Structure 1
Amino acid sequence: MSAGSTSLLFVHGYWHGSWCWNEVIAQVAGAGRLALAVDMAGHGLRARRPECLTRRPYDSEALATEVSPVADVDLDQAGDLLISQIRQLGRGGPVTVVAHSMGGTVLTRAVQQAPELVAHAVYLTAFMPASGVPAIAYAQMPENAGELVAPSVRADPAAIGAVRLDLASDDVGYRQQLRDAFFGDVAPAVADAAIGLLTPDAPVGIALGATTLTHDGWGSTPRTYVTCARDMTVRPALQQKFIADADAAFPDNPTSVIALDSSHSPFLSMPGQVADLVAKLD
């Protein structure tokens, strides 16, 4: 593993936390690269759980109606937090940022607002929305047909302010659907452990926000997209659309593409390969 020179900052996606990058960071750091994983706004140590999931007796109606405690988190807040995290790691200098899934939307906002802080933007099967287009619009496009997240959502995001999963469910079929959506090629025991670490509510405001992209902002920053061929959350056709839309808007700064034969979570199924490819990027 030949390492690049800039520090690496890792951003997770919806429902996850900085924990999901542990295996990748261990290998990157072992190769001599400074690396840090952070929690996105409304996630990890910044997450808040709805009372209905722990209240007994269990109330299925409350699951669908209780307003989320992270309903006030939006893309503005998430972007500002990520910029502060990048600045702290880089001490004002540029950092290579790797974002997964919905974390890509937050990375795009951060790069547009502070391009001087990001040496390289890496999208690992992540949302990489075009100028002025919210991530939620992409999630509903025909290119994302067959994804398994929407069927797993257990409340109207517009009503509760979050995209809610029923992580306490004892329904065998539902839990298998979660495994298939996020961890299709991950060892079953690891997948179950990861589901236990997910946060039930992901702030819908992050997906509803949009960023206006400019040539001297996001369009000026080197970017790499890592595709995942067996992804059931961000489908391969949608990944290709992100790349095509970006290259059409900024043809002078084309997207570099790296392909992985993995599910939505290669940081768990093939952490060595993920560590190797990101460690080589400056």
Structure 2
Amino acid sequence: MVTARRGIYVLIMNEQNPVILVHGMWHGSWCWSRLTGQLAAAGVPSVAVDLDGHGLKARSPRARWSRPFDPAAFATEPAPSAGVTASSAAGDLVAQIRLAGNGRPCVVVAHSMGGVVATAAAELAPELFAELVYLAAFAPVSGVPAADYIASPENEGEKVGALLRADPAVVGALRLDPGDPAGHAAARDAFYHDVDEPTAGAAIALLTPDGPAGIPGETFPITPARYGSVPHTYIVCTGDRAVPAALQRRFVTEIDAVSAAPTTVVELATSHSPFLSAPEELAEVIVKVRS
């Protein structure tokens, strides 16, 4: 069915809830390409979005491109995205969900630190969420910022911190150096250890160097009346080396403390990035949630 709205023709593939795909820190809408094909094959319409400070909305520090490369300048130059917060990114995400779903409730799938933004968005506009699906994601619903969980016992053994190349307090971002070949093995180990090497290499090359520190650093209110009214599913990636499974399970417990209904939990024996390593299995989970 095709409808006209403000001079733009919107194709509504069917009357079921569309799926909105929200990437994690340093990633972009590009990371969902293998999954969107699987969803399309199952007849499920999906839209992958870019969060503020990421993908086509990212701006790299100038020092990233300087030649010869100056590590000291790279480690101290303020991030162009330093002003992005969880709240500002959530407001932008709400607008994207409303546009892509034509005002209808959507199934929102949020990965990793994208879960922070989706959590804030669900509090802002619960009517736009048919379901919030966390994929190995941060879900700060207990009144503390996501950054506090990074130092928690459940996060012990994570391999992301060793990738940082600047002090977040200095540059306003969690800064990686995707252009450093010497760091590719560590990045693959953290994010993509079960992804084929060519694809993992391509993904690392596409990473945004700056993840805005204001996303994990902000505390925002969560209420049972708004966020808690949204149905939740949590996909635990049991082989995750970026967000350990123990931390993922802690988030499930905390979500249940503020939600009207228990969280549906599904486990996948994958790395942090099943959208690249197991897109067919991930699509099956999303299709089941949406049905």
TM-score range, shorter chain: over 0.9
Among 261, 267, 283, the residue aligned to 1:275: 283
Q: Is the 8 A contact 1:4 1:279 kept in 2?
A: no
- Quote the offset at 1:264 in angstroms: 0.3
C-alpha separation between the residues in 1 aligned to 2:15 and 2:83? 38
Matched position secondary structure for 1:65: coil
Q: Which residue of 2 aligns with 1:103?
A: 114
C-alpha separation between the residues in 2 aligned to 1:227 and 1:281? 15
Q: Which residue of 1 aligns with 2:180?
A: 169
Q: Is the 8 A contact 1:131 1:210 kept in 2?
A: no
Matched position secondary structure for 2:53: coil
C-alpha separation between the residues in 2 aligned to 1:119 and 1:170? 42
Residues 170-249 of structure 1 correspond to what in structure 2 (within 5 A)? Answer: 170-171=181-182, 174-249=183-258
Q: List per-residue Cα deviations over 1:101-160 (Å, max 9, x = no partner).
A: 000000000101100010000000000112322111112211001111111101000110
C-alpha separation between the residues in 2 aligned to 1:274 and 1:210? 30
Residues 1-282 of structure 1 correspond to what in structure 2 (within 5 A)? Answer: 5-171=16-182, 174-250=183-259, 252-282=260-290
C-alpha separation between the residues in 1 aligned to 2:125 and 2:107? 13
C-alpha separation between the residues in 2 aligned to 1:22 and 1:184? 18
Q: Is the 8 A contact 2:223 2:258 kept in 1?
A: no
Matched position secondary structure for 2:17: coil
Runs of 4+ in 1 over 2 A off after TM superposition: none
Q: List per-residue Cα deviations over 1:168-198 (Å, max 9, x = no partner).
A: 1132xx2211000000100011100100111
User: What TM-score does the superposition give when structure 2 sets the normalisation length?
Assistant: 0.93
- Quote the offset at 1:5 in angstroms: 2.4
C-alpha separation between the residues in 2 aligned to 1:131 and 1:237? 17
- Quote the offset at 1:246 in angstroms: 1.5
Q: Is the 8 A contact 2:85 2:212 kept in 1?
A: yes
Matched position secondary structure for 2:75: helix
- Quote the offset at 1:249 in angstroms: 3.3
Change (3 A) 1:90 1:186: same
Q: Is the 8 A contact 2:235 2:268 kept in 1?
A: yes
Q: Could you tell which deviates more after superposition, 131-140 or 256-265?
A: 131-140
Identical positions, percent: 48
Q: Which residue of 1 aligns with 2:5?
A: none
Higher relative contact order (CA 8 A, sep 6+): 1
- Quote the offset at 1:210 in angstroms: 2.1
- Quote the offset at 1:248 in angstroms: 2.8
C-alpha separation between the residues in 2 aligned to 1:94 and 1:82? 13
User: What TM-score does the superposition give when structure 1 sets the normalisation length?
Assistant: 0.96
Q: Is the 8 A contact 1:24 1:272 kept in 2?
A: yes
C-alpha separation between the residues in 1 aligned to 2:284 and 2:125? 27
Look up the equivalent residue of 2:233 and give its one-letter code.
T
Q: List per-residue Cα deviations over 1:10-65 (Å, max 9, x = no partner).
A: 00000000011011111111221111000011000000001111101111111110
- Quote the offset at 1:4 in angstroms: 9.5
C-alpha separation between the residues in 2 aligned to 1:213 and 1:271? 31
